[in-house]
Structure 1
Amino acid sequence: MSSLEIATFRKTPLAWQSVARLIAVSALFWAVAAGILFLAAPGIDTYPRLLVFSECSGLAILGFAMLLRPSRWFPKINPTIGWLVTGVIAIPAGYVLGHVIALLALGEPFRLLSPGNDRMVPIIFTVLIAGFGLHYFATREHLANEAMARSEAQRLATESELRLLRAQLEPHMLFNTLANLRSLVKEDATQAELMIDQLITYLRSALAASRTEANTLSDEFVQLRAYLEIMSLRMGPRLSYRLDLPADLARLAVPSMLLQPLVENAIKHGLEPKVGAGSIEVRACRADAGIEISVTDTGLGLRPAGRLQSAADTTSGSYGLLHVRERLRAIYGPKASLTLNPQTPAGVCATVRIPQ
């Protein structure tokens, strides 16, 4: 268990289970250690007594280590030195406390050293075994920290790609909208005013989303509504839309602008090139494994490249889909997914699944 896990084990049931497993493995480890000492130094004591002393000392050492590792002083020093300090404090303190507990359990008077010529053997053996155990945990923590650092680097890279994607998509959308707005000012001032209001809402939401890594589904849907309203004003009767967000999911946190590339992809590659009217529906609902958010359109449907089988496929639409998949993988791991399914008679349904 890493120091981060130890520091937070009080907060979640899963962490409590992790601590319970750690104690069970430690108890088994010290039972085996007592057997090794019994076989390596015959005659030093009976196995049941060695088992009691070994378990009490080992679990006491583990307890001291668990209390020391989350200390606010340790993050300020080198991890290797931190584990050395932990061993210097936890091993002798745990040995003494464990012996006290074992003697109390056995109903014997307190003594730190066993009588006889081999009285130093249990101490040396305990130090060696405990040092080995702490080295194991130090190595495990180091590997966990490296994995966390890699995950954080991947997340930062993905967020950088998100900013690049926004920089590519938003000016294109903005310029087209302004061009339409210029025509509307002369032809229909009321529609022009409505488009300006929706453009302000969209840009305000996009700006807020660019400054945070997570957003509520309610805010995401507000931004999507503004974007779709702008597109419906541009496309006229060729585009209709529907947004369905249950009230109990409104405050759910999701990555900022996670759905925007899916909606833009549906319009740009499905509905805009299509002759005639089309529609798009964005719907969120609860599922067995978490939350499902679907973006369904009645556009042209999937092209071979639209299935995005290869990461090398970086056309504008597929790049947005690839980016969504990478963000889901970086933030939620393999439990999250984005799938594309053809609709009948035409269109595509893009479904995002987020675990809870």
Structure 2
Amino acid sequence: MYLSSTTRAEPWHRTPKGAAQVVAASVVVWAVAASVLYILVPGLDTFARLLVFAESVGLTMVACVMVLQRQRRLERLAAGTRWLLTGVIAIPTGYLLGHQIAFLVLGEPMRLVGHQPISLVPILFTVLVGGLGLRHFATREQLAREAAERAEAQRTAIEAQLRLLRTQLEPHMLFNTLANLRGLVREDADRAEAMIDRLIVYLRGTLAASDTESVPLSREFAQLRAYLEIMSFRMGPRLSYRLDLPVALEGVPVPPMLLQPLVENAIKHGLEPKVGPGRIEVIARATEAGIEIHVDDDGLGLPLPAHDPPQDDSPARPESPSYGLRHVRERLQAVYGPAARLELEQRQPTGARSAVFLPR
């Protein structure tokens, strides 16, 4: 419902809105065509009759194109061949059938069209206007396909960056966790066993996230819980946390490991350097626009301006908070587009909030 995992846009002819826009545009185009023909060929017919014939032919042609573009046999052809074949079928069909529809509209008897010498002008004019229209549709489809391919390439690049980010962050976390385990094994075997269990859950979730494009929000929160429990073992009473996920949102799909960099930033740059206890809360809420997820902490606050990390071309260092935040923004853009966003703000009297907004 919320995750737009498909980067391929629905073709214009398969959406009611797109079809309605095409029909409306065709009405205008063929009205202009009738006006031009009336001016260029005086005495051909009255403007009212030309308008009826032009609209009948144009709308019949558009309907024929829509039907043909739904044929799976045509979809398997190359784009150029498919549109050429569509034109060969749609233009004559639109001309002949459209004239018969116009005769019905005008209340005149149906008759054969195109057999008189003067009919050559409207025939050529119909081929010209129809060909230009098909060219427009073909170009529009090509641009949409290229945009979808760019979006897919961007998504693939973002996912590759995610895997790279994991390889950079996990060894550091693993080494620190294993160092803590080494001391706990002799001092408190029960706590060491519990920490190992949490580590297994965390690593299993991380590996599973590498093989999928989306996970339920409940699994994302389970991953955060495993990570926070590991960190609470290391930091002791200095760290407390709360995760709040309504039951209605548990099955909502989200990109895997989306919230992890935000929680890591809150701990590493806000709570760990802080003297005394700290708290982090991750709260998800449904809104009219979609879902809001807040990552709140009462640490040292934002080390950067609250509105955004640096936007220059210089890459952020892996250990800097900008690195994780930029990565989250890029993933949101790649998966959801501009409707999703990440906002940062200072909390009073201390701390920071990272707010993720996901559209429906």
- Tell me the residue number matched to 1:337: 341
| Letter aligned with residue 45 of structure 2 | D
User: Partners in 2 of 1:313 and 1:125 — Cα distance?
Assistant: 57
CA offset at residue 305 of structure 1?
6.9
Q: Give the length in aligned residue pairs.
A: 349
Task: Verify: 1:5 aligned to 2:11, yes or no.
Answer: yes
User: Partners in 1 of 2:226 and 2:52 — Cα distance?
Assistant: 69
| Letter aligned with residue 165 of structure 1 | L
- Tell me the residue number matched to 2:352: 348
Contact 1:269 1:300 in 2 (8 A): yes
CA offset at residue 83 of structure 1?
1.0
- Tell me the residue number matched to 1:13: none
Segment drifting more, 17-26 vs 252-261: 17-26
CA offset at residue 85 of structure 1?
1.0
User: Partners in 1 of 2:112 and 2:155 — Cα distance?
Assistant: 52
**CA 1:7/1:139 → structure 2, altered by over 3 Å: closer, same or farther?**
closer
CA offset at residue 277 of structure 1?
0.5
User: Partners in 2 of 1:256 and 1:220 — Cα distance?
Assistant: 7
Q: Secondary structure at the match of 1:120?
A: helix
1:212-231 alignment runs, 5 A limit: 212-231=212-231
Q: Deviations over 1:318-351 (max 9, x none)?
A: 2111100111111222221111111112111011
**CA 1:227/1:8 → structure 2, altered by over 3 Å: closer, same or farther?**
farther
- Tell me the residue number matched to 1:188: 188
| Letter aligned with residue 355 of structure 2 | T
Q: Percent identity?
A: 58
Q: Which runs of 5+ in 2 are unaligned?
A: 1-7
TM-score (norm 2): 0.92
- Tell me the residue number matched to 2:137: 137
Q: Which runs of 5+ in 1 are unaligned?
A: 10-15
CA offset at residue 151 of structure 1?
1.5
Contact 2:96 2:113 in 1 (8 A): no
User: Partners in 2 of 1:183 and 1:274 — Cα distance?
Assistant: 24
Contact 2:346 2:353 in 1 (8 A): yes
Q: Deviations over 1:75-133 (max 9, x none)?
A: 43321221111101111112222122112222222223267540222111111110011
1:1-356 alignment runs, 5 A limit: 4-6=10-12, 8-9=14-15, 16-113=16-113, 116-304=116-304, 307-311=308-312, 312=314, 314-315=316-317, 316=319, 317-356=321-360
Q: Deviations over 1:6-32 (max 9, x none)?
A: 4642xxxxxx22221211111111111
Contact 1:220 1:257 in 2 (8 A): yes
User: Partners in 2 of 1:8 and 1:214 — Cα distance?
Assistant: 26
CA offset at residue 195 of structure 1?
0.9
User: Partners in 2 of 1:24 and 1:220 — Cα distance?
Assistant: 45
Q: Secondary structure at the match of 1:308?
A: coil
CA offset at residue 158 of structure 1?
0.9
Q: Secondary structure at the match of 2:81?
A: helix
Contact 1:336 1:354 in 2 (8 A): yes
CA offset at residue 309 of structure 1?
2.7
Contact 2:30 2:55 in 1 (8 A): yes
Q: Deviations over 1:61-81 (max 9, x none)?
A: 111111212332334332122
Which is bigger in relative contact order (C-alpha 8 A, separation at least 6)?
Answer: 2
Segment drifting more, 99-108 vs 212-221: 99-108
Q: Secondary structure at the match of 2:345?
A: strand
TM-score (norm 1): 0.93
**CA 1:302/1:4 → structure 2, altered by over 3 Å: closer, same or farther?**
closer
User: Partners in 1 of 2:342 and 2:94 — Cα distance?
Assistant: 51
Q: Secondary structure at the match of 2:11?
A: helix
RMSD of Structure 2 on Structure 1 (CA): 1.8
- Tell me the residue number matched to 2:3: none
User: Partners in 2 of 1:178 and 1:122 — Cα distance?
Assistant: 82
Contact 1:198 1:226 in 2 (8 A): yes
Q: Secondary structure at the match of 1:350?
A: strand
User: Partners in 1 of 2:74 and 2:99 — Cα distance?
Assistant: 28
User: Partners in 2 of 1:313 and 1:304 — Cα distance?
Assistant: 15
